[in-house]
C-alpha cells in the first residue's frame, strides 16, 4: 500500500531544481535516493517532509492530498507521519539531551513521553548522557540523539538526510545498523545519500540527475 505518491512535482527557485518527479513509496520500504551534490536531493526531502511546498504537481501522503492543507493541518499531518534525521542534527544547544528528544511531542497529545525517550536513548547507548547538553557530546553521539528524536512520536515515515555524512566509520555503522533494525520491524525509511555503497539488496533505489528522479533497477 502506497504511503507517498508524487505526480509531476516540480520545484524552482531562481532556476529549475526538480522537474516532473513521479514517485510512489509503499509502506515498509527502505528507499535510498542518490545524486551528486546540488542535484536536488535535499530539496526533494524537504518537499516530502512538508518543510517547503513544490512549485507544481500533486503530493499525496497517506492517501491525502497535501496541496490544499492549511498550515495548522500541515503541521499536524507532518507530526503524525514524519520523523526527521538531519545531517547537521539540529539539536537545541541550551536543552538537555532528554529534552531535545522530547521536543516533537509538544505538537500532539502523548503519554509516557519521558519513559519512551529514555528507552530510545538506552537502545542507542546514550542513557548515561540524558542530562548533558549537545556540545558535551561527540558528533556520533549527537546523531544518535537525533535518531531518538525522530522516533519519539512514532511516525510512519523516517526521512534521513545524509545521516552518516559527518560521521566516522564506527559511528556511521552504528547509525546505519539502527536504521536497518527499525526497517526490519516494518518502519518506512527514506534515506538521501551521495554514497551508493550504502545501498543493500532489497532497497528501492532512485537517482536524481538533470532535475529528474528515476528508479534504478
Comparison of pLDDT for 109 and 72, the residue scoring more: 72
Q: Is the dihedral of CA 39, 172, 29, 216 positive or negative?
A: positive
Name the residue among 162, 58, 152 with its Cα closest to residue 105.
152
- Cross-strand pairs, 13: none
Calpha distance 138→37 (Å, rounded): 25
Stated as kind and residue range, the H or E segment containing 75 is: helix 71-81
Give helix 139-151 / helix 169-184 axis angle, nearest 10°: 10
Q: What is the mean pLDDT of residues 84-102?
A: 87
Q: What is the pLDDT of residues 149-190, one digit of tens each?
A: 988 888 899 999 888 877 788 878 888 888 898 898 888 999
Name residue, grid cell 539540529: 90
Query: Looking at residue 189, what is its pLDDT?
Result: 95
Q: How confident is the model at residue 136 (pLDDT cuts 50, 70, 90)?
A: very high
Domains annotated for the chain, with CATH where assigned, are: 2-216 (3.40.50.300)
Check whether 89 has a pLDDT greater than 80: no
32-46 pLDDT, tens digit each: 999 988 889 989 999
CA distances from 28 to 117, 134, 180, 203 (A): 23, 31, 11, 11
pLDDT at 9: 96
pLDDT exceeds 70 at position 90:
yes
* Helix, strand, coil tally for the chain in percent (to 5): 35, 30, 35
Report, as an integer, the average pLDDT of 182-204. 91
Quick one: DSSP state of residue 20? Answer: E
- Nearest alpha carbon to residue 54 among 160, 213, 214: 213
108 pLDDT band, cuts 50/70/90, is: low
Amino acid at each position: 500500500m502506497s504511503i507517498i505518491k508524487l505526480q509531476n512535482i516540480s520545484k524552482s527557485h531562481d532556476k529549475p531544481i526538480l522537474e516532473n518527479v513521479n514517485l510512489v513509496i509503499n509502506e515498509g520500504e527502505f528507499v535510498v535516493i542518490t545524486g551528486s551534490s546540488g542535484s536536488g536531493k535535499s530539496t526533494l526531502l524537504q518537499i516530502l517532509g512538508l518543510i517547503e511546498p513544490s512549485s507544481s504537481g500533486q503530493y499525496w501522503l497517506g492517501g491525502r492530498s497535501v496541496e490544499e492543507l492549511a498550515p495548522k493541518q500541515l503541521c499536524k499531518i507532518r507530526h503524525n507521519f514524519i520523523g526527521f534525521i538531519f545531517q547537521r542534527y539540529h539539536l537545541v544547544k541550551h536543552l538537555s539531551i532528554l529534552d531535545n528528544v522530547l521536543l516533537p511531542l509538544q505538537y500532539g497529545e502523548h503519554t509516557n513521553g519521558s519513559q519512551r525517550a529514555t528507552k530510545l536513548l538506552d537502545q542507542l547507548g546514550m542513557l548515561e548522557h540524558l542530562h548533558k547538553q549537545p556540545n558535551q557530546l561527540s558528533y556520533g553521539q549527537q546523531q544518535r540523539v537525533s535518531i531518538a528524536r525522530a522516533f519519539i512520536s512514532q511516525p510512519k515515515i523516517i526521512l534521513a538526510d545524509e545521516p552518516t555524512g559527518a560521521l566516522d566509520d564506527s559511528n556511521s555503522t552504528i547509525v546505519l545498523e539502527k536504521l536497518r533494525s527499525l526497517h526490519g520491524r516494518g518502519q518506512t525509511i527514506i534515506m538521501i545519500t551521495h554514497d551508493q555503497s550504502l545501498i543493500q539488496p532489497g532497497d528501492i533505489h532512485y537517482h536524481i540527475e538533470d532535475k529528474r528522479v528515476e528508479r534504478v533497477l
